[in-house]
Amino acid sequence: MGSQSGMTDRQIDKRVDGFLLVRIAYLRLSTLINHLSTQQRHISQWEQIDFRLLSMHNFPVLFSDTFNLLVSRKDHALFAHNPQFANIMREDITCPTDQDIRDAINQTIDPAMDDMV
C-alpha cells in the first residue's frame, strides 16, 4: 500500500501513465547494469540513460514502442515477484539492444519491411 497516499499499489498503477512506468523500469535496469559493471561504473549512468532515451527519437515509432515493450517485459520478469537481489541472475539484468528490438519487430511484421527498421 502506498504509505503516504493511502492508496493501494494497484490504484497507484492505474493512475500512473504507462510511458512513465517504462521509463522507471528502464532507469531501474540501467542503474543495476551500471552498478554491476566494473567497466561502466566510472561513466555517469545518467549520461548513458539520457543518451539512450534521446537516441530513441531517431528511430521510427515502431522501434521505440518495441523498446518500451521489451523493457516492460524484462522489468516484469525480473521484479514482479519482489525477488531478493541475490537471487536475480546477473546475466538477466540487461536492457534491449538495437538488435533485440529489430528481432522482436521482425517476429511480428512482414520480413519485406526489414529495411524500415
CA distance 87 to 14: 29
Please, what is the angle between helix 18-36 and helix 45-55, to 10°? Answer: 140
Q: Is 6's pLDDT higher than 90?
A: no
pLDDT of 103: 95
Interhelix angle for 61-79 vs 18-36, to 10°?
70
**What does the alpha-carbon distance between residue 108 and residue 64 come to, in Å, rounded to a whole number?**
15
More confident residue, 104 or 82: 104
Q: What is the pLDDT of residue 2?
A: 46
The 3-state DSSP class for residue 2 equals coil
Mean pLDDT of 88-93: 80
Percentages helix, strand, coil for the chain, rounded to the nearest 5?
70, 0, 30
